């Protein structure tokens, strides 16, 4: 190893060690050191039932979020492809999204309270 590599590793190790020592807190607060997970008390029972409706809406949100990230590149490829193909692909994708949203709406999956 060269001298510059050894010096870089030494400085990085020294900075990380100093940062670790300085960042240690002397007062340990039980509430601040416990993990916070969606409002559930982590010290209680892990078998407490949660709202299945909340889980369903979260999954639907994730699905539509991923589909929107798949839809965004259509804007950047408009100049690289045929306009007819681009329009047909974009409309087909949007129609599939709208059809899925319509089915979820009809089945009542988007209602928070029942």
20 within a domain of the structure (yes/no): yes
Query: What is the pLDDT of the chain when averaged over all its residues?
Result: 80
Q: Is residue 15 part of a domain?
A: yes
Q: Is residue 112 a part of any domain in this protein?
A: no
Angle between helices 52-71 and 83-106 (to 10 degrees): 170
Decide which of 27 and 68 is more confident.
Answer: 68
Give a yes or no: residue 111 inside a domain. Answer: no
Looking at the domain assignment, is residue 79 inside a domain? yes
Give the ranges where the chain is alpha helix by DSSP (H): 3-23, 30-33, 52-71, 73-76, 83-106
**Number of folded domains that form the chain:** 1
In a domain, 55, yes or no: yes
What pLDDT shows up at residue 110?
74
Question: Cβ(95)–Cβ(79) under 8 Å?
Answer: no
In a domain, 41, yes or no: yes
Q: Residue 69 has which token pair?
A: 């990230």
Report the percentage of the chain scoring pLDDT > 90: 16
pLDDT at 12: 94
24-28, 70-74, 85-89: range with highest mean pLDDT: 85-89
Q: What is the pLDDT of residues 9-58, one digit of tens each?
A: 999 999 999 888 887 665 666 666 666 666 655 565 656 677 777 777 88
Domain that holds residue 11: 3-106
Does 75 map to a domain?
Answer: yes
């Amino acid at each position: 190893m060269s001298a510059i590599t050894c010096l870089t590793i030494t400085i990085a190790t020294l900075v990380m060690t100093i940062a670790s020592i300085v960042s240690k807190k002397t007062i340990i607060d039980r509430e601040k050191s416990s993990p916070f997970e969606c409002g559930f008390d982590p010290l209680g029972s892990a078998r407490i039932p949660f709202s299945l409706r909340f889980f369903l809406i979260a999954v639907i949100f994730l699905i539509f979020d991923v589909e929107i990230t798949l839809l965004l590149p259509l804007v950047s490829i408009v100049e690289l492809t045929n306009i007819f193909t681009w329009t047909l692909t974009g409309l087909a994708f949007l129609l599939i999204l709208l059809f899925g949203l319509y089915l979820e709406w009809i089945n009542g999956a988007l209602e928070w309270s029942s």
